[in-house]
Structure formats: structure tokens, C-alpha cells
Amino acid sequence: MAEEIAPREVYGKTLVELGRENPDIVVLDADLFPSTMTRYFKDAFPERFLEVGIAEQNMVGIACGLAANGKIPFASTFAVFGTSRCFDQIRVSVAQAKLNVKIVVTHSGLTVGEDGASHQALEDLALICSLPGFTVIVPADAVETAQAIRAVAAHKGPCYVRLVRGKLPVILDDSYRFEIGKAYTLRKGKDATIMAIGTMVAPALEATSMLANEGIDCRVLNMSTLKPIDEAAIIKAAQETGAIVTAEEHQEHGGLASTVSRVTAKHHPVPMVFVAVKDKFGMSGKPAELLEKYGLTAKDIAEAVKETLKRKV
């Protein structure tokens, strides 16, 4: 069984490493530093940590001021608060001003669990992807999280990184190298392609094992950079496998499914099925139970692949 590590834990520790390397790194949080794990940075560099309280709009505004003065601010809270509560500030002060602000959120998707619908961000990617100039990243595991945080720290411009509450299986090894805007082939295959992000990458790999037992050979792409998405990898998969399934812990509208569909429709249309939340809010429950209820399991991905194959030319 693969080791499981919470990406938010890795985020906090990576911030400390960056803080030691670069005095311009500053961190802000909105009353949730014990949960977002920015507490590690707070303990290591209290003079470069700002706790703004339950005031997400202010947090974004302060981050913009710091960025305008040459600092590299990382602003963190839960995904639902870091997008919905301060979208206007992100749109006007970060995106329109093209400021070097890094928004890194935790507790995204249904796997927030028992906290229920009010805390389960299922539309955050749609909101942020709608903003010109934003780089949007959804890491698949702890290894990718560490590298993605370093990448956005070095990248000039607005960035949004979406992390989850719980632990994820470690699926990448030390040879992996994250690159903004590049998909990563986790498994080669010729019959269909599964494109997944975040929590859904591990189930996508599990689904391929199920399908292999039925003689179906699936490619798996980790699409961790949602924006700018790797159009070349999508077009190649469409051309070579002729069928695509997307998998995300997000609404069907506005995230991975919408982005991949736009690319294929423009360049190489193929049958597609979307494993995602179908225009519903979440509810309280254990993470595994919620993923099953909303159709976000390896079995659901495998069934989606078989559905696309029925329509494949």
C-alpha cells in the first residue's frame, strides 16, 4: 500500500524552506494557520507572518500591498473562504493588477467531509480559472505539492494552488519533476485516456488496473496545471487514443472537464465522459462515503471509460 501524506503538511514545511532561502517570502493567514499548516512558517519566521483574523478580503488586500513592494506573499485559508469571500479583491487587486500574489488554499472539495456543504469548495476552480493571467495548480500528492509550491514561488504572476484536507497516496517518486503548464504521463495506453487532477489521480490509476483485467489499455495523465493547461498533451491523447475521461473533485462545470472539452472541441473532437460533481452542493459525511455518493471513485472512472469506448469511432 502506498504511503499517505497530507499535502497541506508538506506545504507548511516547504514554506519554511523557502523562507530560509529567500527573505522576501512572507505568509498571511485568515485565522486558520493551525489547519492550513502555515503555522510552521509562523513559528520559524514570526516577523514575516501576518495573521489577519477572519477577514479574507483584507488578507488579499494586504498581500497585494506586499507584492507591490517586492515581496512574495503566500496567502492561505480554506478553499471556500479563499475564493468566494474575496473574489472581488482577487479579481480587481490581484488579477487586473497582475500582482505576484500566491493564493494557496486547503480543505477543498467533498473530502472536507463532516464540515458539510458550507465548507466544501466545489466551484473554486471555475471562479479562479475565469480570471485572466492566473496560474492554477492542483497537485496530485505530497511530492508534487512540494515542487509546485517552489515553482509558484519562482513564477512571476498570480497563482492559485488547491490542496485538500486529508492525506493522499504518494504516487510520484523522487525522479519526478514538476513543470508549470505540463501534463505528466503516469501510465501509457492506447484505448482511452483518463485525465485527472488532485484527489482523483490515485483513483484514476486504480481504475486502469480494473480495466486492464478486462483487456482495456488506458493512458493516465496527471493534469496538475489546470491553467495554462497542456493543450499539446490533450490533443495527442485525443488523436492517439480516441476517447477521454476527465476526473476531478469539483463541479463538472468550470474545471478540468470544461477546459479539456474546449481544447478537444477546437482541435480534435472525441467521445468524452466527465467524472465530477453534477451540479449539486455537498453534504456532511465521511470523505470516502461522499466520494462514493457523488460518483467519484475508481469504479466510477472505470465505468466512464467503458461508456466512452461504446461511442469511440
- How many percent of the chain have pLDDT more than 90? 98
For residues 13 and 27, give the distance between their C-alpha atoms in angstroms, rounded to a whole number. Answer: 12
Q: How confident is the model at residue 312 (pLDDT cuts 50, 70, 90)?
A: confident
Instruction: Take residue 135 and report the three cell numbers written for it.
Output: 496560474
- In 130-196, where does DSSP find H-type helix? 142-154
Nearest to 108 by CA among 61, 181, 160: 160
Any idea of the CA torsion for 14, 18, 20, 23, to the nearest 10 degrees?
A: -150
Cβ atoms 277, 250 nearer than 8 A? yes
User: Residues 143-162: pLDDT tens digits?
Assistant: 999 999 999 999 999 999 99
The confidence band for 313, taking pLDDT boundaries of 50, 70 and 90, is confident
Query: What are the pLDDT digits (tens) for 239-274?
Result: 999 999 999 999 999 999 999 999 999 999 999 999
Angle between helices 256-267 and 231-241 (to 10 degrees): 70
**CA torsion angle 278 108 226 37 (round to 10):** -170
d(CA 186, CA 2): 15
Does residue 9 carry a catalytic annotation?
A: no
| pTM over the 0.95 mark | yes
Cα–Cα distance between 36 and 208 in angstroms, integer? 32
Mean pLDDT, the chain, whole residue set: 97
Q: Which three-class secondary structure state does DSSP give residue 230?
A: coil
pLDDT, tens digit, 9 for 90 and up, residues 34-49: 999 999 999 999 999 9
Identify whether the C-beta of residue 194 lies closer than 8 Å to the C-beta of residue 218: yes
Neighbours of 237 (CB within 10 A): 26
**DSSP summary character for residue 215:** T
Residue 134: what pLDDT?
A: 98
Distance of alpha carbon 187 from alpha carbon 129, whole angstroms: 27
The three-class DSSP label of residue 47 is helix
Sort strands 168-169 and 4-5 into parallel, antiparallel or unpaired.
antiparallel
What domains can be seen in the chain, in order of their start residue? 4-169 (3.40.50.970), 184-311 (3.40.50.920)
Q: Partners of 188 in the beta sheet?
A: none
User: Active site residue: 4, 21, 56, 307, which one?
Assistant: 56
CA distance 122 to 189: 30
Pairing of strands 159-162, 102-106: parallel
Mean pLDDT score, 167-177: 96
**Is the preceding peptide bond at 169 cis, omega within 30 degrees of 0?**
no
Q: Which three cell numbers mark 199?
A: 484527489
| Residue type at 240 in one-letter notation | E
Residue 2: CB atoms within 10 Å = 11
Query: Helices 201-212 & 298-311, crossing angle to 10 degrees?
Result: 60
The model's confidence at residue 2, banded by pLDDT at 50, 70 and 90, is: confident
Instruction: Tell me what the mean pLDDT of segment 224-232 comes to.
Output: 98
Q: Is the pLDDT of residue 1 over 70?
A: no
